[in-house]
Chains A and B, each alone.
Chain A
Amino acid sequence: MIQRQTIDASVLPDHAFGSRSIMWWATMTIIAIESTVFALAIASYFYLQGNEETWPPPDTALPGLLFPTINVFILLVSLWPNEMTKRAAEDMDLAKTRRWIVVAVLFAVAFVVVRGFEFTRLNVSWDSNAYGSATWTLLIFHTIHLVTDLMDSLVLAVLMFTRHGDKPRRFVDVAENSFYWYFVVLSWIPIYVVLYWVPRWL
């Protein structure tokens, strides 16, 4: 047997945050997939708009502005507890993480509630015309992400209060979940502009 060099892996850490972790890369890939879905849905919206003389089509009212605009503010403010949760998780500070993740979840709940009102003020049904179909679909696509992340955050919040919470892996999960919330927020801004301002401007 030839004497060979060895590298001892047991001295390496058993977790890592950010782009070092495999969860971060998986989250990034999922964000890439979902951004593509949003981009295609927005492209479809404009494609259908190109077929119409007026947008929204005649006899269709403009969508209400109030609730979505409230939601823009809720989302922007939510970035703050979200960032605090992320930092607390990266410091592996259990008490702080527990505190902030609850605040972040409350913001997400508020958003979902307002989203419910938003649907009632679209002023068009999905089966009235292609404009209605495109509008509803875009909003549903975003809502699916919103609700998914809310559920994810809820489960993690509960988890942090159990005996499973104080584990490095759980902190990585919390940090990645906060990272994903940035995507939910950032994707809302272009969708908000398309759904509520494009019919007013173009």
Chain B
Amino acid sequence: MSEGVSEHGAHVASAKPLEEHFKKEGTKHSPYSLPGDEILHEQLEKTWSPAKGPFRFFMQVDHKILGKRFVVTAFIWFGLGGILAALMRMQLSRPDNTFLSADQYNQIFTMHGVTMMFLFAVPIMEAIAVYMVPLLLGSRALAFPRLTAYSYFMFLFGGILLYTAFFLNTGPDTGWFTYPPLANPEFAPGKRVDVWAQLVNFTEISAIAVAIELIVTILKQRAPGMSVNRLPLYVWSMLITSFMIVFAMPAVMTSSFYLASDRLVGTHFFNPAEGGDPLLWQHLFWFFGHPEVYIIFLPALGMVSHIVTTFTRRQVFGYTAMVLSQVATGFIGFGLWVHHMFATGIPALGSSYFTAASMLIAIPSGIQIFCWIATIWMGRPVWKPPFLFVLGFIAIFVLGGLTGVMLASIPLDLQVHDTMFVVAHLHYVLIGGAVFPLFGVLYYWFPKITGRMQNDTAGYVSFALMFIGFNLTFFPMHKLGLIGMTRRIYTYHPETGWGPLNALSSIGALVLGLGVIVYVLNGLISWKKGAVAGSNPFDGPTLEWATSSPPPEYNFVNIPTVSGHEPLWHAPEHAPVVTGLSTTEKEILITRTFDAEPDHRYTMPTPTPWPFLAAVATAVMFVGGLFTVWAFVIGLPIAGIIVTCWFWPTTPRKEGEAPA
């Protein structure tokens, strides 16, 4: 166990109840300050200043500006996906309903899945990391800022493409998994499936680019002293997630490449008549699709650890066990994909391996749950809304995990596969396992990002509505699946007996939606009118709380050094700081990969429009790719030229030097 004796004494000194901390005015003053910081601040503000002027939107490279934009954009797609969910619940609320047509329903359930998986779940987790990771590491920037800008615009354009297509009645309608041959040109003429394939290209490029930035940032830009065994748990989870993205996303890009080329130039990857195989698609898709679940869920586990630490007033129990569990989850997550294919009739012996692996993954998740409960046991709970979201998470996620164990069993899966039982399960793990922690952590980090506090009463109300609404919506679906209700059906007959539970579920969806609306309104109103927060309103222990709220463009005047897991709880005013980074160039400190000793300085780029233009070129190419393969032939060289301009250096001319 990681709890060190040497940290013990220092911690007791600062382990005051949080209520006491609230009474004290939050201070703008950083615990890592030096005399003369004010002068430095003025110079750094000038050097790190964001783009200004009418075109600034297209030129920003600051990770906080882009991170905020990412979060807001992802929430817009989340809202649209939520509206689609409400329409589905409306349609299913009673038997033989005619509110939606079959065609509308098929588009809507596909759009809902695509939106939530590709435009919300993964992007929101990366978005928050784009904002928070450099702050948690004590760095002045995220690695490769122009790539962040490019990723953002790719993400934005992808979403716009999808919803434009949807409003033109060309929304994808073959499910978010888009199984061929249903998605082959023979059975899906028109452009609907092509929209799906291009959307995947947009979002995966964006996701992979951000993953690269996060990996490099986490490995090379940590505050001195933050060796890998002192990495905050959330950062660990983002590191593992990013590596999972690196190895999982290529599978969906490869398969969508195959699908697009089957549709566009007549290849036969999935055409059984010419030696192709629909099951190849399923293997590739789920080799991505199952890790995808953990890509969404691991960051949430990291968030939970931070909330639990701050709101129980003690460090998380079993740091090492937590980290190893997350690493184990990351590895095992790649060995389970076949449990999505039990019903295809693959040989039983091989399948039993996948049953065992799928059950195995419950162990690391269990260990983490036990560690959090142990932390709560030994700590002093503070009943703030973020902590309630974590408690809601435990209740819901444990249930979702248990139904996951059921689905790992081949005989049970053969019954409930592709039924509402699976719909219940996946929402228990994704909403309970990821959205609840996400809402908790956004509440927790809200003052850091906006400089203002949210309204606690509204926070409690939104939590209560969401918790009740969620269970009311999804718990009955377990039963619906067991009594035969399949997924993705736009209607059902009264004699099936599925009516009453569906009605209950639809009422629950109303309550859940109300809870989300209260949460979002609380955020929007507090952003403008909330009480001023101060730099560390919750007495959080990690470095993001060591700078003002919202942080200045350069994040930290002096780069902090750390000597434990909770630097701000261990007398930060005595910790050494790093000085001497340039004040006229955007210099950041690069540290060594494992022990985080200072290594060298690195200059970051200034605002630039090229990433935006590169994203426009890529978008034109992909949208053209809906219609003709020539879009790529013409588009790639143009994109190449723009990217060259992007990377072409700007060396200030020395005096008297002739133009080259």
Q: A and B: direct contact (Cβ < 8 Å)?
A: yes
Interface residues of A (CB under 8 A from B): 1-2, 4-16, 19-22, 25-26, 29-30, 32-34, 36-37, 40-41, 44, 47-48, 51-52, 57, 126-134, 136-137, 151, 155, 159, 162-164, 167, 169-170
A-B contact pairs, 26 of them (CB 8 A): A6-B34, A7-B580, A9-B587, A12-B589, A12-B598, A12-B599, A13-B600, A15-B602, A16-B590, A16-B600, A22-B143, A32-B247, A33-B246, A34-B250, A41-B254, A48-B277, A48-B280, A126-B261, A126-B265, A127-B267, A130-B277, A133-B268, A137-B261, A137-B267, A164-B651, A169-B649
Interface residues of B (CB under 8 A from A): 33-35, 143-144, 208, 211-212, 215-216, 219-221, 224, 246-247, 249-251, 253-254, 257-258, 261-262, 265-269, 271, 274-277, 280, 283-284, 287, 558-559, 561, 573-582, 587, 589-590, 592-593, 598-603, 640, 644, 647-649, 651, 657, 660
* Closest 5 A/B residue pairs (Cβ): A10-B580, A130-B275, A133-B267, A5-B576, A127-B266
- Among A12, A44, A48, A151, which residue has its beta carbon within 8 angstroms of that of B600? A12
A-side contacts of B212, CB under 8 Å: 26, 29-30
Q: Which residue of A lies closest to B640 (CB)?
A: A151
CB-CB under 8 A for A36 and B280, given A1-B35, A4-B576, A137-B261:
no
> Would you call B216 and A22 a contact (CB within 8 A)?
yes
B interface, by DSSP: helix, strand, loop or mixed? mixed
- Among A12, A21, A162, A170, which residue has its beta carbon within 8 angstroms of that of B660? A162
B-side contacts of A52, CB under 8 Å: 275
How many inter-chain contacts with C-beta < 8 Å in the A-B complex?
Answer: 182
> Would you call A137 and B258 a contact (CB within 8 A)?
yes
> Would you call B284 and A44 a contact (CB within 8 A)?
yes
> Would you call B601 and A9 a contact (CB within 8 A)?
yes
> Would you call B600 and A4 a contact (CB within 8 A)?
no
> Would you call A20 and B651 a contact (CB within 8 A)?
no
A-side contacts of B590, CB under 8 Å: 16, 20-22
> Would you call B574 and A127 a contact (CB within 8 A)?
no
For the complex formed, measure the closest distance between the CB of A191 and the CB atoms of chain B, giving whole angstroms.
Answer: 14
> Would you call B559 and A9 a contact (CB within 8 A)?
yes
Interchain CA distance A25-B222 in the complex, whole Å:
15
B-side contacts of A25, CB under 8 Å: 215-216, 219-220, 593
> Would you call B220 and A22 a contact (CB within 8 A)?
yes
B-side contacts of A129, CB under 8 Å: 268, 274-275
For the complex formed, measure the closest distance between the CB of A56 and the CB atoms of chain B, giving whole angstroms.
Answer: 10
> Would you call B250 and A127 a contact (CB within 8 A)?
no
Interchain CA distance A136-B261 in the complex, whole Å:
11
- Among A2, A14, A130, which residue has its beta carbon within 8 angstroms of that of B271? A130
B-side contacts of A9, CB under 8 Å: 559, 578-581, 587, 589, 598, 601
> Would you call A57 and B600 a contact (CB within 8 A)?
no
A-side contacts of B265, CB under 8 Å: 126-127
Q: Which residue of A lies closest to B657 (CB)?
A: A163
- Among A11, A22, A136, which residue has its beta carbon within 8 angstroms of that of B267? A136
Interchain CA distance A20-B208 in the complex, whole Å:
22
> Would you call A44 and B280 a contact (CB within 8 A)?
yes
For the complex formed, measure the closest distance between the CB of B338 and the CB atoms of chain A, giving whole angstroms.
Answer: 13
> Would you call B284 and A40 a contact (CB within 8 A)?
yes
CB-CB under 8 A for A8 and B257, given A16-B599, A51-B277:
no
Q: Which residue of A lies closest to B217 (CB)?
A: A22
Q: Which residue of A lies closest to B572 (CB)?
A: A4
> Would you call B216 and A164 a contact (CB within 8 A)?
no
A-side contacts of B266, CB under 8 Å: 126-127
Interchain CA distance A26-B280 in the complex, whole Å:
31
CB-CB under 8 A for A7 and B143, given A37-B253, A52-B275, A134-B269:
no
Interchain CA distance A40-B334 in the complex, whole Å:
13
- Among A26, A47, A137, which residue has its beta carbon within 8 angstroms of that of B257? A137
Interchain CA distance A34-B211 in the complex, whole Å:
14
B-side contacts of A155, CB under 8 Å: 644, 647-648
Q: Which residue of A lies closest to B215 (CB)?
A: A29
A9, A14, A32: residue with the most chain B Cβ atoms closer than 10 Å: A9
> Would you call A48 and B35 a contact (CB within 8 A)?
no
Q: Which residue of B lies closest to A131 (CB)?
A: B275
Interchain CA distance A163-B598 in the complex, whole Å:
31
For the complex formed, measure the closest distance between the CB of A104 and the CB atoms of chain B, giving whole angstroms.
Answer: 18
Interchain CA distance A1-B33 in the complex, whole Å:
9
For the complex formed, measure the closest distance between the CB of B19 and the CB atoms of chain A, giving whole angstroms.
Answer: 27
B-side contacts of A4, CB under 8 Å: 34, 573-577
Q: Which residue of B lies closest to A10 (CB)?
A: B580
Interchain CA distance A134-B143 in the complex, whole Å:
36
> Would you call A170 and B649 a contact (CB within 8 A)?
yes
Interchain CA distance A48-B277 in the complex, whole Å:
7
> Would you call A47 and B277 a contact (CB within 8 A)?
yes
A6, A7, A19, A26: residue with the most chain B Cβ atoms closer than 10 Å: A7
- Among A26, A131, A163, which residue has its beta carbon within 8 angstroms of that of B144? A26
Interchain CA distance A167-B561 in the complex, whole Å:
30
B-side contacts of A12, CB under 8 Å: 589, 598-601
B-side contacts of A136, CB under 8 Å: 267
Interchain CA distance A16-B600 in the complex, whole Å:
7
B-side contacts of A16, CB under 8 Å: 590, 599-600
CB-CB under 8 A for A130 and B602, given A29-B212, A44-B254:
no
Interchain CA distance A159-B247 in the complex, whole Å:
33
Interchain CA distance A160-B33 in the complex, whole Å:
42
- Among B275, B580, B600, which residue has its beta carbon within 8 angstroms of that of A51? B275
> Would you call B254 and A40 a contact (CB within 8 A)?
yes
> Would you call A48 and B275 a contact (CB within 8 A)?
yes
A2, A6, A127, A130: residue with the most chain B Cβ atoms closer than 10 Å: A130
B-side contacts of A15, CB under 8 Å: 600, 602
A-side contacts of B600, CB under 8 Å: 12-16, 20
A-side contacts of B644, CB under 8 Å: 151, 155
> Would you call A20 and B602 a contact (CB within 8 A)?
no
Interchain CA distance A167-B660 in the complex, whole Å:
15
For the complex formed, measure the closest distance between the CB of A26 and the CB atoms of chain B, giving whole angstroms.
Answer: 5
Q: Which residue of A lies closest to B254 (CB)?
A: A40
A-side contacts of B280, CB under 8 Å: 44, 47-48
For the complex formed, measure the closest distance between the CB of B634 and the CB atoms of chain A, giving whole angstroms.
Answer: 15
For the complex formed, measure the closest distance between the CB of A170 and the CB atoms of chain B, giving whole angstroms.
Answer: 7
- Among B34, B261, B575, B651, which residue has its beta carbon within 8 angstroms of that of A133? B261
